[in-house]
Amino acid sequence: MPNLAWIAHPDGFIYWYNKRWYEYTGTTLKEMEGWGWQKLHDTKELDNVLKNWKLSLATGDPFEMTFPLKGSNGKFKPFLTRIVPLKDASGKIHHWFGTCTDVSDLSEAKEALSISEERFKATFEHAAVGIAHLDLNGKWLMVNNQLCKIVGYTKEELLKLTFQDITYKPDLELDLKYVNKLQKGRIHSYTIEKRYVKKDKSLVWISLTGSIVKDSNGINKYFIAIIKDITETRKAQEEKQQLELLSRERNELIKISKAKDEFISIASHQLRTPATVVKQYLDLLENGYAGTLSNEQAKFIKIAYNNNERQLHTVNALLKTAQLDAENFTIHRISTDIAALLRGVANESKVSMQIRKQTLHTEGLDKDVKLKIDPVEIKLSINNLLENASKYSHDGKVIYLKLKKLKTKITITVEDKGVGISPENHHRIYEKFARVDNELSDTVTGTGFGLYWVKQIVELHGGSITLKSELHKGSKFIINLPL
């Protein structure tokens, strides 16, 4: 018999041990007889053993316990001890029969199992990713803390749901397709990106790796899911895509804008040359180089001349804009008497203002201010502001042109008492092609380029342009140029 065995009297006095007992313990019957076996016990366990043994002796119930017993080598090994009462026909106990089975191997296996279970639990609970087991219908069987955090449900809440319940509906079909393949054994695992609906109804992007566990007969048992929150990665990816799209669109726009500028440049050159020639010939006719003109002829030629002038004006504006937009546009600064320049512009504008019976008031044009500017461009800019002031003022109004010298800059103000510009359009007027409708825009011509290039020219000089204007009250454009 491989087990240790012994027999005791009804009162627990052991009077016989088998051979294995003596072999294992290295003791003799003399030492062991009665209650001598106690010296083979671990003192920490002995009280408990005695208590249970005495209880069995008192009640007549069988005894079962695992405790260590010391071997002949002085080392302890765990033994499962079972003691059964042997009774006679009347039910009276006449002997107790005990066996002790060495369960060291079993204990080791149990301990190993409990360590591995503990490790699994720790890995499961503390993992930085969501981990779950699900039954074959998709019901959550086991979920870790991280998964609860990702979806915002508590463990108890989640265990009442299925993965279908919390999957964002448009993403469910894809997932079910893979689940189906897993169940049929066509794949061993799969990884997809999909969305869950969190408890607060917001969406969370996750990466899901799913696999299936089978028993030894190959029957499907449950699913394992590894779930990672990828909201941030998705966000970064989407932002990157958005940026790429924007950059592509921007490049496309730049290309279109370049092509358009080129077209404007070529077209306006082509238009300007014949219009200039027409102007020269009309001049010759008007001045009588082809004979004296009748009143009717002179009137017609005047109309032709005025219209040709308008065309030239538009073409020049187009050309100017195309030049400004060209990458190599530069200003040519020379030391300029700014007051003299403004006096010149004022004189030229007075002529067209007279047609509208408007008067130009000037202030500060007697100052001696020398400034390094591009006189051609600045003259064109002021001229444009004065033209606008006249165009967008009713007949008979006064227009002001003022020059001021401050510590670090000069200011040139062009002010009118005209139709004004409503505040929401103050920024728009500087855009290319921006024409803002007002009560006079139907009666005057314009291209929508003027203020665009005035602003560009002023900024190329390191200056700025500001506007104060109210609808129906008038406008005040102030050009600041650094000294």
Contacting residues toward ligand ADP, per CB under 6 A: 388-389, 392, 416, 418-421, 429, 434-436, 438, 441, 446-452, 475
Least spacing, CB of residue 384 vs ligand ADP, in Å = 6
Least spacing, CB of residue 297 vs ligand ADP, in Å = 32
Where do we find the tokens 């869950």? 196
Task: Identify which of residues 146 and 388 has a Cβ nearer to ligand ADP in the complex.
Answer: 388
Task: Identify which of residues 179 and 454 has a Cβ nearer to ligand ADP in the complex.
Answer: 454
What does DSSP say about strands 359-363 and 398-405: parallel, antiparallel, or unpaired?
A: parallel
Least spacing, CB of residue 340 vs ligand ADP, in Å = 24
Where do we find the tokens 């200056």? 463
What does DSSP say about strands 63-70 and 76-87: parallel, antiparallel, or unpaired?
A: antiparallel
**Which one, of 52, 28, 51, lies nearest residue 40 by Cα?**
28
What's the CA gap between 412 and 478, in Å, rounded?
6
Task: Identify which of residues 99 and 447 has a Cβ nearer to ligand ADP in the complex.
Answer: 447
Cβ–Cβ under 8 Å, residues 69 and 103 = no
**Residue 155: other Cβ atoms inside 10 A:** 13
3 state SS of 224? strand
What's the CA gap between 168 and 426, in Å, rounded?
47
Least spacing, CB of residue 442 vs ligand ADP, in Å = 11
Least spacing, CB of residue 435 vs ligand ADP, in Å = 4
Task: Identify which of residues 18 and 438 has a Cβ nearer to ligand ADP in the complex.
Answer: 438
How many helices and strands in the chain, by DSSP H and E?
Answer: 13, 17
Four-CA torsion 306, 311, 312, 317, nearest 10 degrees = 130
Least spacing, CB of residue 261 vs ligand ADP, in Å = 17
Task: Identify which of residues 402 and 405 has a Cβ nearer to ligand ADP in the complex.
Answer: 402
* Paired tokens of 279: 């102007």
Task: Identify which of residues 130 and 420 has a Cβ nearer to ligand ADP in the complex.
Answer: 420
Least spacing, CB of residue 482 vs ligand ADP, in Å = 24
Least spacing, CB of residue 291 vs ligand ADP, in Å = 38
DSSP class of 97: E
Least spacing, CB of residue 193 vs ligand ADP, in Å = 51
Q: How far is CA 320 from the centre of its chain?
A: 42
Residue type, 379: K
What's the CA gap between 208 and 11, in Å, rounded?
67
Task: Identify which of residues 70 and 350 has a Cβ nearer to ligand ADP in the complex.
Answer: 350
Phi and psi at 96, nearest 5°, equal -115, 135
What's the CA gap between 412 and 437, in Å, rounded?
26
Where do we find the tokens 């609970």? 125
Least spacing, CB of residue 470 vs ligand ADP, in Å = 10
Cβ–Cβ under 8 Å, residues 412 and 382 = yes
Task: Identify which of residues 95 and 350 has a Cβ nearer to ligand ADP in the complex.
Answer: 350
Cβ–Cβ under 8 Å, residues 134 and 211 = no
Task: Identify which of residues 413 and 475 has a Cβ nearer to ligand ADP in the complex.
Answer: 475
Task: Identify which of residues 346 and 421 has a Cβ nearer to ligand ADP in the complex.
Answer: 421
* Paired tokens of 193: 């990106």
Phi and psi at 327, nearest 5°, equal -60, -25
